[in-house]
Structure formats: structure tokens, C-alpha cells
Amino acid sequence: MNEILEILAENARITPEEIAKLTGQSVSAVKNLIKKYEKEGVIVKYKTVINKDLLEEPHPLVRALIEVSITPQKDLGFDYVAERIYSFPEVKSCYLVSGTYDLLVEVEGENIQTVSNFVASKLSSMSHVRRTTTHFLLKKYKEDGHALKKGKQKQRLNISF
Amino acid sequence: MEISKTVEQLKPSGIRLFFDLVLNMKDVISLGVGEPDFVTPWRIREKAIFSLEQGYTSYTSNKGMIELRRMIAHYLERRYRLHYDCEEEMLITVGVSEGLDIGIRAILNPGEKVLIHEPSYVSYPAVVELAGGKPILLKTDIKNGFKLTPGQIDKACGKGVKALMINYPCNPTGASYTKKELREIARIADKHDLIILSDEVYDELTYDFDHTPLATLPGMKKRVIYFNGFSKTFAMTGFRLGWACGPSKVIGAMTKIHQYTMLCASIMSQMAGIEALRGNFADVMEMKKEYMRRRRFVVSRLNEIGLTCHMPEGAFYVFPSIKKFSNNSLEFATDLLKKKKVALVPGTAFGDSTEGFVRISYASSYENLKEAMLRIESYLKNK
């Protein structure tokens, strides 16, 4: 992966000026490359990783991972059904996977009831969907390479030779 | 109680008071740390824990576990085409610090001289003096990127000069040498029959060219004691684990001292070392990449705010001049600490001739570095 993308993937708020300093490139070169990536859709969007467990919201959203087995469509493969599924806004991510089922779908809803209803009325009833298995997420430990628990303070001395 | 004259005459760390000041102050942004800010990769820590669970709590052979020595020999072979016999030409030490001490003690007779570049890591002159030798300090210049020149070594050689201690990439300057430059140094060493103690603990943190171990140059193996360790490459400073390689005679002599004084390196650390070398070095490469970025950032910012510095070739230090602002690096560092809560190390800690410089360590997060640079900038503006 390009170094600029690596830096942005870690910290979306970093400025082109700072990236230029870190990579030894000119500011305009960095800006142009970022623009190009945005235009090409390589950079999809800039977002923030939030540990929602720390927000004391009265009604936290619930998430579930759903294994979906489907019958592939002639000439269309899995893509046709996948698109029908991921077009629902409730679906946060959708992957085609190898193994005993086909699609791994992450769904978010207000509570267990809403998610269950979505699965029952939308997902499992969809034609070509053969079977679903729903796993509600109980606790999030690590997301996108980041452990969500704050690490202990490091023991390193503040000064040493 | 009466203290030995040698120890009493050892240069007291004049810097101690400053260190105490830093250690007692809260909320300091520190650029004064001589160790990685990464924690040891989990696979290595996990192996150390597992080895304890398995009951690895005993002594090992004085030279260190044979499995570890084999791994190191294999690594040196693969990495540098550097051949050392892990039975006869290698000793596992408690960090490179111990290695340097027993290396010097193994070769030096009282009164013999050792050439050391200045600035240098703090222990170099001390271990020579403790062994009854005399350190000859060779001043390196910012104009040469703080590198020793062959002419300088040539001129300093003479009666009683037995060895040269060299550290590259260098703590505190980050200076390193290309293969071509090392060949020149090797030529002078040959001319004067010098022993070279080559401390290459920062070798994997070399940024602009490939690191060349001195011992790989033709004819050098017989006069080089090669030191390296796990501290910097794998962020394992607290494990205290290093190795020394050299001709079997000198390794035998060093092993003698090691067996009487240290016995062996800790077995948990040695087990962790085996795991460290077993990996594919992806974690090492990740850390290196991060250091490279910070190096560019820090050098560019420092020059921007008026602290002139060269681009260091390795390690994780920059060594800027503060002469535009102060003639006293200890005063400068103390004042900066008190006013802006940024800690760095005065250049004089690494030799008297390095007045007018400070060591800045970029083994600190980007956010910290950014904030520290802002604080230094505002400090200099009001000076």
C-alpha cells in the first residue's frame, strides 16, 4: 500500500503538510495523490473509530453477525443476492466467505427485537437464501487492528542514555 | 567506607541532577529516552510467559543456550553472509553493555589506550577506565555528520593504542558508515594492527543504505569483536540480551570473565530471543518504517525552527546544534524542561567536546513529537 494511504489509514485527521514532512515529499505532490485516490474511490471516506461501549447512551444499538447460505444464481453468482442484501441500510458490512456458509453480514439495529425482525422478515425470507444463523455481538475487544481497552501506562523511564 | 581510586575518579555523571529533575517532574513530554517506545512484540512476550509456565527457570550454559546461538549464527549468515561458529566464536551476553565491558577487559593490559569517537555512548570511556586502560577521545564533527575519518584514526594511532571502539548507527548522533567508508577504517586498522570493538546494536535501524558489519570486510574478522543485541531491533531493552562474536581466543577469554561475574544471561530472556529470531521480521520492519517517518518529520521541523541538524543515517536520535541560542547544553535543557516541560539530553552527557548540541530521541509517538516541536519552537521564539 502507498505510504500516504498507510498514514491516512492510521490517522485521517493528519494534514497534507504533515504527511509531506513524514514522507519527504512535497505538499503539492501529497495533495494531488490524495485527490487522485479520492477520485478513483481508493479512498472511500474518512471516519472515526468510536468505542461506543464507553458512551453511556440510554439505548445503545445492537449488532449481530449473520451467516447466510444462499443458492448462487446462474450467470450472476453470489453478487446478485449479495447486492440485494447489502442494499438494506441495516447492513453495515457484507462479505463473501469460504467455508460452510456464503455471506457474512453484519447488521445493526436498535435492539435485539429489531434485528431479529429484520432477519426474519427481510433476510431469511429472501428468495435464494437457504439458511441464516444469527450471532449477537456481546462485547467488542478489538476493531480494525485497534484494541479498544486503554493500555496500561508504559513503564519506560522519562530519560535514559 | 573507602572507595576504589579508579571508581572514585570515574567521571561522575554530571547529568545526574538533570536526570533527577526530569524523573521527578510530571506531564513531561520526553525526547530523552534511549529505548524504543514500542512494547516488545506480543509473540515474543507470549513466548517468555510460556517458557516460565514450562518451568524454564534454571541456569543455562555460560555461553548461552546452544539453540539461541544457532539461531543467531543462522540470522547473521542469512542477513549479512557473516559466518561465526556458534560453538567457539559466540557468547550470549546480558545486553551489549556487558559485552563491551568484558570485551575490553579481555584484551586490555593496564595503561593501554583505546580510541573512542566523541560523542559516544556513555559507557565507552568508563569501561576502558575500569579496566585500567586509557580512553583517547576522537572528536567528530557535525560537518562530517559526526563520523570518524580514517585520517583522524591514523593520526591518533601510536604507542600503546590497542583498540578502537566504534558504534554505528551511533547513539547519540545517529551517524553510520557506508561500506566504502568502513573499508577505509578497516585499512587503517590493518595498518596499525588495531582491535576493533564494533557495537552494531542499531544495525536494523539503518535508513539510507544497507548496514555493513565491519567483520564482513576482507581480513577484518580476525581483528573485530562484533556486538549486537535484541534491545533495539525487537524493542526488548528490559530483557537484557545481546551477543558478542569474534575470534575463538577472545570469545574464550570473554567467556571466562562472563562465567565468573554474570554466569549466564537469564533463561527467560534467551527463550524470548529464540522466538524473536524465529519470526519473519514483519514487526521489525513495521517499527523501522515508523522510525523513518518520524526521523524525516523531526529533522525537517528542527531545521525549520532553527536547531540545525544533519539527517542521521540510523538509530532513533537526532543531534542538533543549539549554538545559535546557547553555549551551554545543560542550561539549555534545564531551562527548556522548566519552562516547556520538554525533556532532551544535553550533548555534554556524551563527551566534553559535544557542548552546544542536544540529543533528541524520536522513539516517541508522532503526537508527542508534534507537540514537543511546537513547545520547543515557542521556547526559542522567546529566547
Query: How close does chain A come to B161, measured CA to CA in Å?
Result: 27
Mean pLDDT throughout B284-313? Answer: 94
pLDDT of B13 = 63
Residue B50 at interface with chain A, using a CB cutoff of 8 Å: no
pLDDT at B82 exceeding the cut of 90: yes
Q: Residue A65: which H helix or E strand, with range?
A: strand A62-70
Q: B50-72, pLDDT tens digit by residue? A: 999 999 999 999 999 999 999 99
pLDDT of B158 = 86
Among the listed residues B332, B103, B361, the one whose alpha carbon sits nearest the alpha carbon of residue A161: B361
Q: B131-145, pLDDT tens digit by residue? A: 999 999 999 999 999
> Cell numbers 548461552 correspond to what residue?
B64
Residue B297 at interface with chain A, using a CB cutoff of 8 Å: yes
Contact check, Cβ <8 Å, A156/B35: yes
Query: How close does chain A come to B158, measured CA to CA in Å?
Result: 31
Interface A-B: count of C-beta contacts within 8 A? 51
B 202-261 near A (Cβ less than 8 A) = none
Mean pLDDT throughout B267-279? Answer: 96
Query: How close does chain B come to A19, measured CA to CA in Å?
Result: 9
Most A-contacting residue of B18, B19, B285 (CB-CB within 10 A), to test interface: B19
Mean pLDDT throughout B183-198? Answer: 97
Among candidates B30, B35, B300 on the partner chain, residue whose Cβ is nearest the Cβ of A21: B300
Mean pLDDT throughout A49-71? Answer: 88
Q: What percent of chain B has pLDDT over 70?
A: 99
Mean pLDDT throughout B314-331? Answer: 96
Residue B366 at interface with chain A, using a CB cutoff of 8 Å: yes
B320 vs A140 pLDDT, higher one: B320
Which residues of chain A are within 8 Å of residue B287 when distances are taken between CB atoms? Answer: none
B 159-198 near A (Cβ less than 8 A) = 171
Q: Residue B181: which H helix or E strand, with range?
A: helix B179-192
- Please give the ipTM for the structure prediction: 0.83
pLDDT at A135 exceeding the cut of 80: yes
Among candidates B34, B297, B301 on the partner chain, residue whose Cβ is nearest the Cβ of A160: B34
Among candidates B121, B296, B301 on the partner chain, residue whose Cβ is nearest the Cβ of A161: B121
- Report the half-sphere exposure of B128 (CA within 13 A, side-chain side): 22
Give the pLDDT band of residue A153 (cuts 50, 70, 90): low
CA torsion through residues B18, B24, B29, B31, sign: positive
Among candidates A22, A154, A161 on the partner chain, residue whose Cβ is nearest the Cβ of B39: A154
B382 vs B104 pLDDT, higher one: B104
pLDDT of A59 = 79
User: What dihedral angle (degrees, nearest 10) is formed by the CA atoms of A141, A145, A147, A153?
Assistant: 170
